[in-house]
Amino acid sequence: MKRVVMAAGALAMFGAVTYVMDVPLRRNAAARAAREYATRRGLPLLNIGAGTGHTALFGKTLYGDYNVDIGGRRDVPHGTPGMVTYADAQDLREFATGSVGAVLASHVLEHLSCPEQALREWVRVAGGDRAALFIVTPQWWAPHTWLHPGHIWYFSDGQGGGLKKNLRPPSACPRLVGA
């Protein structure tokens, strides 16, 4: 029993260390690349899942010109400096087609009931440019990928070529206006 407890403790420590080390490094690298891409296109950067005190372990990330989150503020306009405003990653109707130069979505896709709908929306606001999407999902080997209660999907861009696996039954995809 003692060995099981020790192994569980070691796994928890490994998970915490990998999360704290991996997430900020990959998120920052993707944010830099997204910023460069948006700048080359001469359009703003949309940061989806920017986080708030209620939705992000590390707090909000203000990488974009527009920083949005499901827990963001509804009483201020998008693009307000220093603010995370409300938007649903699966329904960005308040953003016009082709209105952003790049989309950054770090640790968002795995939480969504309809990732395909979100991807369609992200491509739409980026003007149909799939290369303008900068998406970070949890690493397959990190314990938090499998243990996080809010993770519905697992994504891998390795040998699976974009493998998507359902971890938990998602809610039905809502039929959105314009979908």
The domain ranges of the chain are 2-166
Q: For residue 168, what are the CA distances in angstroms to 33, 108, 123, 146, 149? A: 31, 16, 26, 10, 9
Q: Measured in whole angstroms, how far is the alpha carbon of residue 25 from the centre of its chain?
A: 14
- Tens of pLDDT, residue by residue over 111-159, are 888 888 999 999 999 999 999 999 988 877 777 777 777 788 777 654 3
pTM for this prediction = 0.78
